Amino acid sequence: MEEFNVKLENSLIISGSDALLIVDVQNDFTPGGALPVNEGDQIIPGINQLATKFKKRETLIVLTQDWHPDGHHSFASVHDGKNPFDPFDGEGLGPVLWPDHCIQGSLGAEFHDDLDTTFATLIIRKGFHREIDSYSIFLENDKKTETGLAGYLKSKGIKRVFLTGLALDFCVYYSAIDARSFGFETYVVLDLTRGIDNPEGNVLKAIRDMEQKGVRFVKSPAFQTG
């Protein structure tokens, strides 16, 4: 794994007001999928192990799923003459267009087989409005339509959230920023996420922006069950 030269928490004791958020660990984001993230499958055993630690404390464990209808406007294929990864600036869309991915009910939209989904206390789906994308697991890309996750976590008394999954420079990044603005103490578990990094440097840019906005970083061996 790349090192990003960030400050890491040494040791964290998991408590009942913590939630583990596992973002979009779906077939299409792993090698062999439609929008594969390099090494996206390699983080899964570590996510299962961390979920085991959280489960011991009976904390909330949330899985999310990118869940697009056919012909979603984030797909290059619906825009004449456009290719995947072309820049695109549309209301609630962009900054780039994507290959068709995570289509509702398709194999690509299913969780990766290696992911133990029995841990989940909530599974939340996003990106199902045809004309608007949703990178963040809290807010759609219009920046106002809530997925309901912030309300759920608040109603359960959650104070800290720990983000893992895919992709570091898109869904994990936008989710971390929104988690901060909803008032959660927010951590990204750096060894349990991987980025798309297209264009190159995008991951580093996302890390620096998260740092600046008060997101914290940790690696999975730092977690204790107390």
Q: Please tell me whether residue 100 binds Zn ion under the rule CB under 5 A.
A: no
Active-site option among 24, 41, 66, 197: 24
Token readout for 74 is 């984030």
102 an active-site residue? no
Closest distance to ligand VGL from the beta carbon of 135 (Å)? 6
Cis peptide before 95 (omega within 30 of 0): yes
The end-to-end CA distance of the chain, in Å, is 28
Token pair of 82 as six digits = 């456009």
Q: Is 191 a catalytic residue?
A: no
Q: Pick the piece of the chain touching Zn ion (CB under 5 A) from 62-70, 85-93, 161-169, 215-223.
A: 62-70
Q: Which of 66, 133, 171, 178 is catalytic?
A: 171
**3-class DSSP state for residue 19?**
strand
- Residue 28 backbone dihedrals phi, psi, to 5 degrees: -65, -20
Question: DSSP label at 8?
Answer: B
The C-alpha atoms of residue 112 and residue 96 are separated, in whole angstroms, by 25
Interacting positions 180-219 with Zn ion (CB under 5 A)? none
Q: Is 24 in the site for ligand VGL (CB under 6 A)?
A: yes
Query: Any contact of residue 100 with ligand VGL (CB under 6 A)?
Result: no
Contact characters 130-169, ligand VGL, x per CB under 6 A: -----x------------------------------xx--
Q: Give me the amino acid identity at 91.
A: E
Supply the minimum distance, in Å, between the C-beta of residue 74 and Zn ion: 6
Residues 6+ apart with CB under 8 A from 27: 33, 107, 108, 109, 110, 111, 112
User: Letter for the amino acid at 90?
Assistant: G
Q: Figure out which of the listed residues 18, 41, 66, 169 binds Zn ion, where binding follows CB under 5 A.
A: 66
Residues that bind ligand VGL (CB under 6 A): 24, 29, 66, 98, 135, 166-167, 170-171
Q: Which residues bind Zn ion (CB under 5 A)?
A: 66, 127
> Could you list the active site residues?
24, 126, 171
